[in-house]
Amino acid sequence: MSARDKLTPEQRATLAEQLGDALPARNSLLMSFGKSVQDRRDHDHTTQREDWYCLNLAAYMGERAAPVLRRLLDAETEIDGLRARVAELEAELRIGPPWKCPVCSKENRRDVCMICETYRPEPDNEAEQEKDTSGGCQPSEGESTPEPRVEDGALARATNPDGARQ
C-alpha cells in the first residue's frame, strides 16, 4: 500500500461512524466474497439483456460489505500501530559507524548484529586514542611521551659517540 492509498485519521473516523456496530467479517464471508467476484467475472454476460444473476451477486455482496469494511479498517489500524512500534524499536537502536561482527564477520551499522545478534564490542582505549582528533601531540596529564623506535641503527647513526644528537 502506498502512502497515497492510506486512509487519513479523519477518513477512518468517518468510515467507522458509517459502519456503526458492524463486526469484522469472518474468513467464511471473505471466501464467499471471493467466490462471488469469480462467479461474476466468469458468468456469460451476453446471454441476457438484464443480467439478473450478476445483479443478485452484487446485491448479496453489498448487503454484507459492512463487516468486510470493518475488517479492513481494523487491519489498517493494526498495521499503523505495528509501524509505530517498529519505528519506536528502531529509534532505540543506535546507528553508528560500521563495525564487523567478531562472530559472523558481517558488516553492521547497528549496535546488534542482524545475523547472529551479537552486540557491538566496546571500543578499546588504544583505538579511541588513535582516533583522537584533538590535534595536539602533547600527552594527557599522567601520560608519558612514547620512546622513539630504533630501526636498523638509525638512532645510532644520528647520535655521536657520547650519546648526544647531531
Please check whether residue 71 is in contact with residue 24, taking contact to mean a CB–CB distance below 8 angstroms: yes
pLDDT confidence band for 158 (50 / 70 / 90):
very low
Domain-by-domain residue ranges, the chain? 3-92, 93-130
Cell of 91: 529509534
Beta strands in the chain (DSSP E): 95-100, 107-110
How much is the pLDDT for 132?
Answer: 47
DSSP labels, 84-129: HHHHHHHHHSPEEEEEE-TTT--EEEESB-TTT-PBPPPPPHHHHH
Is the pLDDT higher at 93 or at 75?
A: 75
Chain Cα centroid distance, residue 116: 17
Q: Would you tell me how many other CB atoms lie within 10 Å of the CB of residue 148?
A: 9
User: For the whole model, what pTM was predicted?
Assistant: 0.53
Please check whether residue 18 is in contact with residue 72, taking contact to mean a CB–CB distance below 8 angstroms: no
How much is the pLDDT for 161?
Answer: 52
Residue 97 has pLDDT above 60, yes or no: yes
In a 3-state reduction of DSSP, which class is residue 66?
Answer: helix
In a 3-state reduction of DSSP, which class is residue 53?
Answer: helix
For 128-138, letters b (16+ CB in 10 Å) and e give eeeeeeeeeee
